Amino acid sequence: MDLKKPTIKVGILTISDTRTPLKSNIDSFDSSGQNLIKLINDSNVIESAKVVQYGCVTDDIDQIQAKMTEWCSERKVDVLLSTGGTGFSPRDVTPEATLGLVQKLTPGISQAIMNESLKLTPMAMLSRAVSGIYEKTLIINLPGSSKASKECLCVVASAIPHAVSLIKDEKEISKQFHKQLDFTTNNKSRIPECVTKIACRHRESQFPKISMKSALNILKEHAVLQYTENNKIKYPTVWIFSTGDELGISKDAHSGYIRDTNSVMIKQILEQDNYKGHVFNYGIIRDNWNDLCKYFEEAFNNADIIVTSGSVSMGEKDLIKHVLKEHFEGQIHFGRVNMKPGMPTTFVTLIFKDKKKYIFCLPGNPVSAGVCTHLFLLPYLRSISGKKIIIHSLKAKLTHSIKGLDIRPEYRRSLLKYENGELYVSCLTNYQQSSRLLSFVNSNCLLQLPSSSKKANIESSTIMDVILIKSIENTYIAPILKEMNLRIEIIKKEAITGNTKNEQPLLCSCIEDVLHLMTENIFVAKTEIIPTSSAMGYVLYSSINSSENLPPFQASIKDGYAIKYGNYWFQKSNIFKVVQVSVAGTVPCCQKEIGDGECARISTGAPIPPGANCVVQVEDTSVETKSSDGKVEITIAILKEPKLFENIRSIGSDISVGQRLLDQKTILGPFEIALLRSVGCEDVEVYVCPSIHIVPCNDNSAYAISHKLKNMLEVSDFKGSIFSHSLRKNLTKFTEQFDCVYDDVNSIIIFCGNVNEFCTVESHIHISNNTRKISLGFGRMFVGCDEKSVVFLHINTCDSESIYNCAHIFILPFLRFITGKKKIISLIKTKCNLTSDYLPTDKFEKAELHYENSDFNVTCFTMNHQSCLVNIPSSLDQTNIKLKARKKTELDAIVTENSDYYFLHY
Ligand SMILES: Nc1nc2c(c(=O)[nH]1)N[C@H]1C(S)=C(S)[C@@H](COP(=O)(O)OP(=O)(O)OC[C@H]3O[C@@H](n4cnc5c(N)ncnc54)[C@H](O)[C@@H]3O)O[C@H]1N2
Ligand code: MOO
């Protein structure tokens, strides 16, 4: 796919008797040379190129040739661009100097420059510029004026990288090119006329807009699990790729370029959902027929399910559907869905080498790609994986009114919140554009809005359907647990004697206070800087602002024509001459100005040429006149009055320089990572994840609870390892293991099980000041750190119930707290049918949690799936409960298992 390209070294040689690089003298300042440097170094007009040599010489053959020879024979430059000395005056000798040197002529380059220049001015015929190859350097003469040299450079810029690699005989790159050529010649595929002849492209989409319900039903019909190997289920392999000529991954990009966010985001969404098959990111594929055929073929040879993003709407380079249909004879089950965003979503199946392949073609707009991954791809993969949960949907009360519904059913990024026992949903922002990844940040669900042709409204407090796109757990952060009455003692160590003494116990009722006391002076948050792409699940240490604008240039929202919209629309002609093409990847600064009565054919995401002030979608146009061979449209008619600035995304409208992207302590998921990548933020500072070592203190029961604790940590995404030797049984072996983990500054050591005296532990961990001891009612716990600031916890219990409670009420909250998580504990209000046989225990009891009729319910004293801990207050007396026997009692519950699963249904 994308080979890493070496930098192209460029030399700029100004040839003039009068010009100098000195800015002080405006009259003689070499503005043309300096402008070329800017175009290459700052505007990246030539992909992967940098100006490494610059010089000014007079119009003298010897001087010119001396400089050219120095730069070329010493291989200082790959491309030498001369500016000036190409005209008819007696001193103009640049072409003669060049011709005297080059070993091969490159007339195509000179001709291309001449052709394009003549379109701008007949005076171009007075240029005698030439070009050719000397040693391994390409020399191109450009005219002397700033404007003309820029225009000429733009004509040839896109061909330069390939020309250079051919001249340098770069094996890999040329091999790739020739492979492509072979493919083209061997390829017998029938390319449809709408692709080969631009004047014949479809003005309207060929695919009916089907409803979301029908689309899901079609997917359901195709969700057959048929992959088995040796009687074992083998989950299908998924390959993902992004398409687009404007996409890139590297930092030094050319302008007109957008960073690929989608392939990574889609992969991470699948991984986060624990899809059991293999998922590969295949990178970026360019928008051309042969590349698409070739890479699809490779994907079909290796994968069962292929997911693409981009190239599915109405542009001339939107080839995916055509390639699948014409080249691979695929069956397009749907090619458009009546929804916002994500309308062009496409689902195709085909038979390749006797095997059925399933292709999900998602739109290129990053929000559309993310939303459609959740609404189509995940449900599909879940159903072929035999999961019960297909779509996470639930009901919530709208916190505000919604004005002016769209004609398409809409899925808005929104925030679901749990407050006072009820679920509330609010749309975070009005900026819901499908290019704007920021709309995912701080949202955790999609609010489903019905369509309306009359721009109807929805009243506040209406109960709405929402679909979860992030864990709901973050919606009910409630760190306060009442009436817990936990005792904390602080243990001080006397530095000189080594004795320990206890301080007066403190009584705390709020878990957050306890955590603060547990960590104060003990724990210093540790952070590290890691690559953004591997930051999934980490917590951001400090907030991040953007250093770039997105889009970086004015971009089109639709495939259509960029026109200059005049004031008196109907008095003017609706016929426009197509004078320019702006497809994805077009370099903005190379575009010509659009004049009255002119237009540029433009694709979604491509830069708006100067002069144009609105884009008319292709559906609202027709071809008026064609070229004689019928291939090219010469003029088009605009059928509907446009609006000023319609279908234009202005610079920085999605993200502007300096804008806050993410707040500190944000948990980084697929959307957050995509957002950071979209503005080139390649590294992030995050809280360190500790390595947790569990030490069984004494006998077998300590081993059993150590394993139990390890499992509980893992369910919550913390990794634990267990010492193979217990503290009590084999002190020597234990010490060896201990020394190993001791060197790791990120260690947390958890001692499990009773030891009569805490000092057995203490003697091994060089306890420092301020160790804390907490009495929990169901065991005791110590928190402290040693001189090397290894944090240790000692849970003084061997009782299985106690370790469960202790893990959920202290250890996990503690670990979340020190790794920067905002969510410390998931506490919700539940309703419970308590029977009169119930006896108050003043304890946390395990219970089953379920979500029914918009209520969270718990069933206590059940052996069914225990998924929460309910806090049964001691003040409830038996008579009271008997009285309430038929009424539901309200109880606080700590969610102990991934609670998203309680809301799921298809
Ligand atoms: N004339 C019409 N134009 C458009 C229509 C339409 O019905 N008629 N539909 C619009 C809708 S709705 C959507 S959604 C987009 C979908 O376009 P494509 O799927 O063809 O995607 P592209 O044109 O390739 O890209 C759209 C946009 O997204 C950016 N992009 C693409 N891939 C990526 C990526 N991997 N990472 C980041 N950004 C990406 C691209 O630069 C464009 O800006 O079409 C509308 N047009
Ligand atoms: O359907 Mo598109 O996804 O609105 O931008």
Contact 428, 414 (CB under 8 A): yes
Residue whose Cα lies nearest atom 4 of ligand 2: it is: 341
Ligand 1 closest atom vs CA 604? 23
Looking at all shown ligands, the one closest to residue 309's CA atom is 1
Cα separation, 890 vs 350, in Å, equals 55
| 3-class SS letters over 72-117 | HHCCCCCEEEEECCCCCCCCCCHHHHHHCCCCEECHHHHHHHHHHH
Backbone angles phi, psi at 329, to 5 degrees: 50, 45
Backbone angles phi, psi at 900, to 5 degrees: -55, -25
For residues 300-306, average pLDDT: 95
Q: What is the pLDDT of residues 484-516, one digit of tens each?
A: 566 777 776 665 556 667 777 777 766 777 777
Closest CA to 281 of 294, 271, 273, 272: 271
Task: Count Cα neighbours of 853 within 13 Å in the Cβ-side half-sphere.
Answer: 2
**What distance in angstroms lies between residue 433's CA and the mean position of ligand 2's atoms?**
8
Spatial CB neighbours of 85, under 8 Å, sequence gap ≥ 6? 15, 16, 59, 64, 91, 92, 93, 94, 95, 97, 141, 144
Contact 205, 335 (CB under 8 A): yes
Provide the pLDDT for residue 1.
38
- Count Cβ atoms within 10 A of the Cβ of residue 321 and give its class: 0-12 exposed, 13-18 middle, 19 or more buried: buried
**What distance in angstroms lies between residue 48's CA and the mean position of ligand 1's atoms?**
25
For residues 386-390, average pLDDT: 78
Contact 51, 37 (CB under 8 A): yes
Looking at all shown ligands, the one closest to residue 654's CA atom is 1
* 314 Cβ closer than 6 Å to some ligand 1 atom: yes
Backbone angles phi, psi at 782, to 5 degrees: -110, 145
**What distance in angstroms lies between residue 263's CA and the mean position of ligand 1's atoms?**
14
For residues 296-320, average pLDDT: 95
Cα separation, 561 vs 638, in Å, equals 9
- Indicate if the pLDDT at residue 606 is higher than 90: yes
Closest CA to 544 of 673, 710, 711: 673
Q: Which neighbouring-strand residues pair with 581?
A: 601
Distances from the Cα of 140 to the Cαs of 95, 118, 425, 598, 734, in angstroms? 10, 18, 62, 31, 74
Token couple for 212:
């979301």
- Indicate if the pLDDT at residue 874 is higher than 70: no
**What distance in angstroms lies between residue 418's CA and the mean position of ligand 1's atoms?**
35
**Ramachandran bin of 44, using left for φ above 0, alpha for ψ from -120 to 50, beta for the remaining angles:** left
How would you classify the pairing of strands 137-142 and 355-362?
unpaired
Cα separation, 445 vs 442, in Å, equals 10
**DSSP-derived 3-state class of residue 635:** strand
Closest CA to 363 of 242, 469, 535, 544: 242
Looking at all shown ligands, the one closest to residue 674's CA atom is 1
Provide the pLDDT for residue 209.
96
Residue type, 362: L
Ligand 2 closest atom vs CA 557? 5
Spatial CB neighbours of 115, under 8 Å, sequence gap ≥ 6? none
Closest CA to 642 of 551, 579, 556: 556
Looking at all shown ligands, the one closest to residue 433's CA atom is 2
Provide the pLDDT for residue 55.
92
- Indicate if the pLDDT at residue 184 is higher than 50: no
Q: Token match 């930092």: residue? A: 251
Which H or E run includes 152?
A: helix 146-156
- Indicate if the pLDDT at residue 604 is higher than 70: yes
Contact 622, 637 (CB under 8 A): yes
Provide the pLDDT for residue 428.
72
Contact 493, 499 (CB under 8 A): yes
Residue whose Cα lies nearest atom 23 of ligand 1: it is: 604
Contact 832, 893 (CB under 8 A): no
Residue whose Cα lies nearest atom 33 of ligand 1: it is: 364
Contact 86, 128 (CB under 8 A): yes
Q: What is the pLDDT of residues 92-121, one digit of tens each?
A: 999 999 999 888 899 999 999 999 888 888
Token couple for 851:
């979500």
Cα separation, 579 vs 330, in Å, equals 36
Provide the pLDDT for residue 67.
93
Provide the pLDDT for residue 389.
73
* 434 Cβ closer than 6 Å to some ligand 1 atom: yes
Question: What are the b/e assignments for 375-391, b being 16+ CB within 10 Å?
Answer: bbbbbbbbbbbebebbb
Cα separation, 875 vs 873, in Å, equals 5
Higher pLDDT, 253 or 25: 25
Q: How confident is the model at residue 883 (pLDDT cuts 50, 70, 90)?
A: very low
**What distance in angstroms lies between residue 605's CA and the mean position of ligand 1's atoms?**
7
**What distance in angstroms lies between residue 344's CA and the mean position of ligand 2's atoms?**
7
- Count Cβ atoms within 10 A of the Cβ of residue 4 and give its class: 0-12 exposed, 13-18 middle, 19 or more buried: exposed
- Indicate if the pLDDT at residue 602 is higher than 90: yes
- Indicate if the pLDDT at residue 62 is higher than 80: yes
Q: What is the mean pLDDT of the chain?
A: 84
- Count Cβ atoms within 10 A of the Cβ of residue 571 and give its class: 0-12 exposed, 13-18 middle, 19 or more buried: exposed
Closest CA to 541 of 554, 532, 528: 528
- Indicate if the pLDDT at residue 862 is higher than 70: yes
Q: How confident is the model at residue 878 (pLDDT cuts 50, 70, 90)?
A: low
Which range among 368-377, 700-709, 837-846, 887-896 has the greatest average pLDDT? 368-377
Cα separation, 805 vs 814, in Å, equals 13
**DSSP per residue, 560-588:** EEEE---S-GGGS-SEEEEEEEE-TT--G
Percent of the chain with pLDDT over 70: 83
Looking at all shown ligands, the one closest to residue 341's CA atom is 2
For residues 555-565, average pLDDT: 95
Cα separation, 36 vs 39, in Å, equals 5
How would you classify the pairing of strands 486-493 and 410-419?
unpaired
Provide the pLDDT for residue 650.
95
Q: Which of 38-42, 48-52, 480-484, 889-893 has the lowest mean pLDDT?
A: 480-484
**What distance in angstroms lies between residue 630's CA and the mean position of ligand 1's atoms?**
28
How would you classify the pairing of strands 544-545 and 506-508?
unpaired
- Indicate if the pLDDT at residue 173 is higher than 50: no
For residues 32-44, average pLDDT: 89
In this prediction the pTM is 0.77
Give the ipTM of the model, two decimals please: 0.99
Cα separation, 899 vs 471, in Å, equals 8
Please report, in angstroms and rounded to a whole number, the separation of the first and last CA atoms in the chain. 38
Provide the pLDDT for residue 181.
41
Strand segments (E) across 688-801: 691-696, 720-722, 747-752, 771-775, 780-785, 791-795
Residue type, 432: Q
Residue whose Cα lies nearest atom 39 of ligand 1: it is: 364
Provide the pLDDT for residue 496.
53
Provide the pLDDT for residue 182.
44
Percent of the chain with pLDDT over 90: 46
* 618 Cβ closer than 6 Å to some ligand 1 atom: yes
Residues with CB under 6 A from ligand 2: 340-343, 363, 365, 368, 434
For residues 324-336, average pLDDT: 96
**What distance in angstroms lies between residue 309's CA and the mean position of ligand 1's atoms?**
9
Q: Which of 230-244, 414-428, 529-543 has the lowest mean pLDDT?
A: 414-428
Distances from the Cα of 627 to the Cαs of 199, 336, 635, in angstroms? 9, 32, 9
Higher pLDDT, 411 or 832: 411
**Ramachandran bin of 853, using left for φ above 0, alpha for ψ from -120 to 50, beta for the remaining angles:** left
Cα separation, 269 vs 382, in Å, equals 12
* 326 Cβ closer than 6 Å to some ligand 1 atom: no
Closest CA to 266 of 394, 362, 390: 362
* 312 Cβ closer than 6 Å to some ligand 1 atom: yes
For residues 463-470, average pLDDT: 93
Cα separation, 141 vs 801, in Å, equals 83
How would you classify the pairing of strands 137-142 and 131-134?
antiparallel
Contact 284, 249 (CB under 8 A): yes
Q: Which of 278-292, 725-739, 834-848 has the lowest mean pLDDT?
A: 834-848
Rounded to the nearest 5 degrees, what angle is found at the Cα of 720, between the Cα atoms of 716 and 721? 160
* 315 Cβ closer than 6 Å to some ligand 1 atom: yes
**What distance in angstroms lies between residue 514's CA and the mean position of ligand 2's atoms?**
48
Q: How confident is the model at residue 158 (pLDDT cuts 50, 70, 90)?
A: confident
Closest CA to 770 of 755, 745, 787: 787
Cα separation, 43 vs 240, in Å, equals 31
Distances from the Cα of 758 to the Cαs of 235, 294, 737, 754, in angstroms? 50, 68, 20, 9
Higher pLDDT, 374 or 387: 374
